[in-house]
Amino acid sequence: MAFLMVTATYPPWKLPDLIDVYTSGNAPDYPPFLHTVHHFVVQDGYYKNYGIYECEDDKLVEGINALTKRFYRYSLIEGYEYKIEPLLDSKEAMKTLGFI
């Protein structure tokens, strides 16, 4: 299984706008091969959200596309930014880099 992390930042005064988008019911559904593992929120001036998702290895590109479709609607709010990053397990990374 592959993991994807979505990191989003936004100013605190935009939280009501984000809640409006979130509760609108217009979000595309996650496909069945993409699962939410956990969401974290921290505040360091701006709010920062970390979303961790699990995806079938052979569906990685489709998983990134699904997350992009879901998070794009938030990016229409001024000050909201997000990025999607594939994550490697540390042991898998060491294998990939030839260390073990």
Q: Would you state the pLDDT for residue 93?
A: 67
Residue given tokens 């559904």 in the structure block: 29
Question: pTM of the entire structure?
Answer: 0.85
pLDDT tens-place values along the chain, 100 residues long:
889 999 999 999 999 999 999 999 888 889 999 999 999 999 988 999 999 999 998 999 999 999 999 999 999 999 999 999 999 777 776 776 677 7
CA count, 13 A, side-chain hemisphere, 21: 16
b (16+ CB within 10 A) / e for 15-47? eebbeeeeeeeeeeebeebbeeeeeeeeeeeeb
Q: In this structure, what is the dihedral angle of CA atoms 90, 54, 64, 77, given to the nearest 10 degrees?
A: -100
Q: Say which amino acid occupies 5.
A: M
2-96 belongs to which homologous superfamily? ACT domain (3.30.70.260)
User: Can you read off the two tokens belonging to residue 92?
Assistant: 């898998």
Q: Would you state the pLDDT for residue 44?
A: 85
Q: Would you state the pLDDT for residue 40?
A: 97
Q: Do residues 9 and 48 lie in contact, with contact meaning Cβ atoms separated by under 8 Å?
A: yes
